[in-house]
Structures are given as C-alpha cells and as structure tokens.
Chain A
Amino acid sequence: MEFSFDLLLEATVFGILLGCFYAAVSIGLSVSFGLLDVPHVAHPAIMVLGAYCTYVLVQYGFDPIVAGIVLMPAFFLLGMGVYRFYYEAFEKRGSDAGVRGIAFFFGLALIIEVGLILAFGVDQRTVEAAYIGESIDLGEMRIPLRFLVAFGVALVLMTGLTLYLSKTFTGRAIKAVAQDEPALRLMGADPVRIKQWAFGIATGVTALAGALLIIIGPVEPGLDRVYIGRTFSVVVLAGLGSMTGTIAAGLILGISESIVLMHFGASWAPAVAFGLLLIVLGIRPQGLFGR
C-alpha cells in the first residue's frame, strides 16, 4: 500500500474530532466505573437510551443538543435510582457481589436494548438539525459540521465535569470516596449518598453523550454492543477515574481507529478498540494516568 502523507494528516484530524467524541461518551463510565468501582456494563445501553430520548424530543421540535441538556436531570434521577438498587441488592450484602453485579448490569443492558427494539424497531434513526449534513472545506479536507459541533459540546462537557470534580466540595467528596471510603466514613460523611449522587451525575452526563451519539451518526438499538469496547477501553487506557487521562485515551483511540479505517478499511475498525484494550490490560493494567 502506498503511504500518503495527506491521507495520514486527514486521518489524524478526523481522529482528533472522533477521539474527543469518544472521550465524551466514556466520561460517565470514567466516573461510575473508574471512580466508584461499579461494573457498569450497561453504560453504553443507557447512552443509546439517551440517543433515543433525544430522537423523541427532536420530533417535538427541540434541537438535539438542547434535548440532551433537557434530558440530563431525568437521567440524573434514573442513575440515582439504579445505584440505590445496585447498592441494596449487591454492595450491601457484600459476598460475591462481583459475579452477580456484572450479571445484573448485563441483564439491565439487555432489557434496555430489547425495550428500545420493541418501542422503535430495529431500523436506524437519525435526527435533523441545521448543522447536520453540512460540511466545511479545509484545503483538501472536508470536515462534516456535525463532528465539529459534537467536538465542541464534548469539550465543554469534559471541562465542566473535570472542574466540578476538582473545584467543588461535592466533587472532591466524590474523589475522596474513590480514594478511601472508610476514612470518609470516619469524617462523618455518608459514602453511599455521595456515591449515589456521583452515579447520578455520571448517568446525567451520559444523556448528553447520547445526544452527541445521534448527532454523529444513525443510531440503532444494538449499537451499545459496539460501544462496550470503545468506552471501556478508553476508561482502562486512561487509568481508572482520571479525567485528563480519559481525554488523552479518547484521542488515542480516535486517531488509531481513523488511521486503521482509512488504511485497512472499515471491516477492521471495530477490532481497534478491543485490540488496544487487550494490549493495555496485558502491558500496563493501571493505564496511562493510573492512580
């Protein structure tokens, strides 16, 4: 195959846009799995649910991004409920929570997926907005505007969440829970309430990620299976719970995926995330910015 610098440059630019999007869809998992140690296999399914809720709101005349923001409080409550249930059913009982906890979230993902199939069918869904379908030319490259919009929203979302976790009192409490739960309990704080709040935030952010998902491209109920690999590989590569790491890892995945896509074809692209994940797990399980 002939090596072309232009193609590589285009792949890189595209990869950066895609990578920021990947970081945005993974950041909720970075909180729920990375910080709280919840084996949240249903994260991508909840994101796809968010995409479908966005789709419904767009039918009522909302802009997709506004719809995503409107959905955040509802998903926040949903997340609090899911965590409460998980806590009462598994974490509180303690013994052997690992196997059953994973099975629980796996079952939840299935229920969401099939629920969406029953409600909307297996067809792909897309949304309409002024910036979808347009593209801008940069020299030789054509960059679809929807990628730029998603890129911008993703940046705002990630900056906001990073600032929230490092500057506010609750945000720091969430990080404290991740570091040393018994110590927090000794300080007189209730770790379960903080974790519930944090899981709510993680799920709320996932609603907006779902809106980005349907802006980027068509959505179908089975899409969560693809994103299990992408989101978990970003979070593991980042080093559990590291926000800076999540962005870096998203970029690495985005760029490698788009280079593979352009040089070897679309049929190899799905394996990139998982290949990367296996390599990281084998060589450096604590990730790039591990604790």
Chain B
Amino acid sequence: MRFWVSAGLVFSLAVIAAAILKNEYYFFAGYTVLTYVVLATAWNILGGYAGYVNFGTPAFFGLGAYAAAVLFKATEAPLLFQIIAAAAMSGLLGFAAGLLTLRLRGIFFAIATIALVVIMETLFINWRYAGGATGLQLLRPAPVAPFESYIKMLFVVMALIAVASVAIARYIETSWIGRGLRAIRDSEEAAECSGVPTLKLKVFACSISGALMGAAGAPMPMYLSFIEPASTFNLNYAIGALASPMIGGMTHYIGPVIGAILLSTIQQVVTVTISGEMNVLVVGVLLVVFVVAAPEGILGLFRKKFSAGRK
C-alpha cells in the first residue's frame, strides 16, 4: 500500500511539474533521467536478482526505438502503440537471446550480450528502409489534448513507464520468481537441485528485462525526431544501466532507482558544465569506487549505518 501511495505521489508530481514549469530544458533532462531509471530497473531484474551481467542494454533499447520508428514510418501509429510494439519486439529478443545464451555463465554471458549489440547495430546499418547508417528523420505529430508541448507529453509518458517498471520489479522481487532468481545467483546448481526451474526463470527475467528496456527506447525517436544506429546502439546505455544498480544497490528495487537518479543527474550537470567526455569518466570512476569500496551500494551503506545505530 505504501508503495502505491508513494508511486502515485511521484507520478502526480511529474504531472504537476509538466503543468507548471515553463522551461523546456528541465523536461529534456528529466526525460533522460527517467529513461535511465527504467533501464537500470530493467537491468537489475536479471543482473541484480539473478547475477547475470548484461551488457546488451543498447540492443534491447535500440530495437525498441527502431521498432517504434519503423512502425511510425509505416503506419503513423500513435505513441501508445509504438511503445507496445517496442516492448513486444524487445521482449521477444530477450526471450530468444535468453534461450540461446543463458546456459552460459558469468563473463561468457556478458560477452555474448555485447555480441548482441554489435549484431543488432550491423543489421540496422544495413537496413535501408529504417534509414541505414545515415538515419531517419521523423516528423513529430501534434501533442495529444491536455499537453501543450510534445516534450512534456514524452516526459509524463516516460514517468508512467518508470513507475510501471519499478512496480514490475517490485512484484518480481517479492514473489516466488524473485526468490528463485536469488537462489540462482547464490548457487545455480543448488537451486536446480532443489527444484527451482532455473532456465525458465532466467528466460522469463531476460524477456521482462528486455521488454522494459524496449519500452524505454520507444519514445526516443520522437524525442529526437531522428534515429540513427551509432548513437542508438551506443554502449553508453549499457554503462548507465549497469552502473546505476551497482552504485544504488542491487538487492532492493529502490537501489537502481536511487543509482539512476543520482548518476544521470550528475551526468547531466557534468555534461552541461564541463564536457561530454568528463561525464563518462565520472561514471567509470564512480563505478570502480563503488564496486571496490561499497559492494552493496548506497543502500548497503545506509543499512550498515542503521544496524550499527541499533546496537
């Protein structure tokens, strides 16, 4: 109950902000932050709970973006259908990739997911209809009724996707699925022996995670009015999606949210005030510092402080 109240509060805050604030820059920045919240939450379903490191975020994100763009080019479908199509395509990719690669462990799985990114990028570079290497210009339609600008509408839509994905992550975490995934992380053999359907659970986690990443990518072509393979399948998305849960904490659904908000806000500030290269450096340094010094992330630090206080 508390979760739904706070989720509702956060979402209404986003709507109120969209109604009051005039400066559109906040919505551009907020949209990016929310995208990373979705990506980090989705990443954590497979990476945090089950312990499978996925570098393939750009493949799912990019496929979602392209699915939306191609659907829009072909039929001018509204945003809602674009998002559904994107989630379906990326979910399917997650299902297929999961079946093929989830028998691999540790670094082998991680490398296989990088492979997925490069293969998807190569496919879209060579697909003329989707614009090939030069990309595709898209004409944004007029915003739907209550919204005065398209970017505000995208911001609210992304806030909705973010709330939905955190709710899904929370459901998975607290249900038997989450327990199964945690058993896989601790010892896959022991889990299998105790009757946990490990492969089924992993494929399920990979599909859901992929679908959410695809949904996060769907509004992007409209956000930029443009889509192009090199930036869509950029490994920087993988870095953000992986670093946020590591920094926030991977054991609770709120960890990736904290990490993503913190990290991408810092990134926005650094990009604007210093340079785009510095923001990647900041992520790299924070990632290394956290995995070495605070393996449980920010949540772990808090937990340590509270349990010390109780004694």
Beyond A104-B291, A275-B119, is A99–B53 a contact (Cβ under 8 Å)?
Answer: yes
Which residues of B sit under 8 angstroms from A9, Cβ to Cβ?
none
In A98-143, the 8 Å CB interface with B consists of: 98-100, 102-104, 106-111, 113-115, 117-118
Among A107, A118, A229, A285, contact of B291 (Cβ-Cβ < 8 Å): A107
Digitize A157-184: 1 where CB-to-B-CB distance is under 8 Å, 0 elsewhere.
Answer: 0000000000000000000000000000
Which residues of A sit under 8 angstroms from B292, Cβ to Cβ?
89, 104
Among B112, B246, B281, B284, contact of A277 (Cβ-Cβ < 8 Å): B112
Stretch of A68-76, A200-208, A263-271 contacting B (4+ beta carbons < 8 Å):
A263-271
Does A100 contact B284, Cβ atoms closer than 8 Å? no
Digitize A252-291: 1 where CB-to-B-CB distance is under 8 Å, 0 elsewhere.
Answer: 0000000000000001101101110110011001000000
Interface residues on A, range: 35 or more
Residue of A nearest to B118 (CB): A274
A274 to B185, CA, bound (A): 26
Interface residues on B, range: 35 or more
Which residues of B sit under 8 angstroms from A83, Cβ to Cβ?
none
Q: Interface majority SS on B: helix, strand, loop or mixed?
A: helix
Which residues of A sit under 8 angstroms from B285, Cβ to Cβ?
107, 111
Digitize B82-112: 1 where CB-to-A-CB distance is under 8 Å, 0 elsewhere.
Answer: 0000000000000000001100101110111
A196 to B190, CA, bound (A): 32
* A225 CB–B CB distance under 8 Å: yes
Chain B nearest CB: distance from A30 CB in Å?
Answer: 14
A104 to B291, CA, bound (A): 7
Which residues of A sit under 8 angstroms from B199, Cβ to Cβ?
none
Beyond A100-B246, A102-B110, A267-B125, is A278–B100 a contact (Cβ under 8 Å)?
Answer: yes
Digitize B36-77: 1 where CB-to-A-CB distance is under 8 Å, 0 elsewhere.
Answer: 000000000001000101010000000000000000000000
Residue of B nearest to A272 (CB): B122
Which residues of B sit under 8 angstroms from A114, Cβ to Cβ?
277-278, 280-281, 284
Beyond A267-B126, A274-B114, is A111–B106 a contact (Cβ under 8 Å)?
Answer: no
* A6 CB–B CB distance under 8 Å: no
Which residues of B sit under 8 angstroms from A225, Cβ to Cβ?
235
A277 to B107, CA, bound (A): 13
Residue of B nearest to A37 (CB): B107
Chain B nearest CB: distance from A86 CB in Å?
Answer: 10
18 contacts between A and B (CB under 8 A): A100-B246, A102-B53, A102-B106, A103-B291, A104-B292, A107-B283, A107-B284, A110-B281, A110-B283, A110-B287, A111-B284, A229-B118, A267-B133, A274-B114, A277-B111, A277-B115, A281-B104, A285-B104
Mark A residues whose CB is within 8 Å of B.
Answer: 33, 39, 41, 89, 93, 96, 98-100, 102-104, 106-111, 113-115, 117-118, 225, 228-229, 232-233, 236, 267-268, 270-271, 273-275, 277-278, 281-282, 285
Mark B residues whose CB is within 8 Å of A.
Answer: 47, 51, 53, 55, 100-101, 104, 106-108, 110-112, 114-116, 118-119, 121-123, 125-126, 133, 185, 235, 239, 242-243, 246, 250, 277-278, 280-281, 283-285, 287-288, 291-292, 295
